[in-house]
Amino acid sequence: MRLKGKIAIVTGAGSGLGKATARVFAREGARVVVADIQAVQGQAEGSTVAGNISSTKAEQVMQYFLRRIPMRKLGTPEDIAHAHLYLASDEAAYVTGQVLSPNGGYVM
């Protein structure tokens, strides 16, 4: 329980990164306030869109980026949420002014 006794406000928690972050924070003991501009999604916690790419053009764009990511995989919302979890935890209490880039090695 890395976040026990902490309170987190997660915006955009109805889907994607926000949803994953809210779930990871709650699992780690934080009291989570879920906020989303889409009231229905926020209340129902929506659905994650990761992996639901269906058009040919979108597939071509995805392949373009996959060839440039050293880990050769797309990150998931949970991958980003775990980076958020670390920064919100006491384990990062001495971390200041750093850039954490959970990007699979892809540098823009």
Total tally of structural domains belonging to the chain: 1
Between CA 103 and CA 72 the distance in angstroms is: 11
Residue 98 belongs to some domain of the structure: no
Residue 102 belongs to some domain of the structure: no
Residue 106 belongs to some domain of the structure: no
Q: Is 8 helix (H, G, I), strand (E, B) or coil?
A: strand
Residue 1 belongs to some domain of the structure: no
* pLDDT, position 91: 93
User: Which domain covers residue 20, as residue numbers?
Assistant: 7-92
Q: Judge if pTM exceeds 0.85.
A: no
Q: Is 72 helix (H, G, I), strand (E, B) or coil?
A: coil
Contacts of 48 by beta carbon, 8 Å cutoff, 6+ apart: 15, 16, 19, 20, 77
Residue 82 belongs to some domain of the structure: yes
* pLDDT, position 82: 92
Residue 99 belongs to some domain of the structure: no
Residue 97 belongs to some domain of the structure: no
Percent of the chain residues topping a pLDDT of 70: 75
Quick one: average pLDDT of 20-32? Answer: 86
Tokens of residue 59, six digits: 């597939």
- β-bridge partners, 34: 10
Between CA 3 and CA 25 the distance in angstroms is: 7
Q: Residue 56's pLDDT band (boundaries 50, 70, 90)?
A: very low
Note whether 26 and 85 are within 8 A (CB).
Answer: no
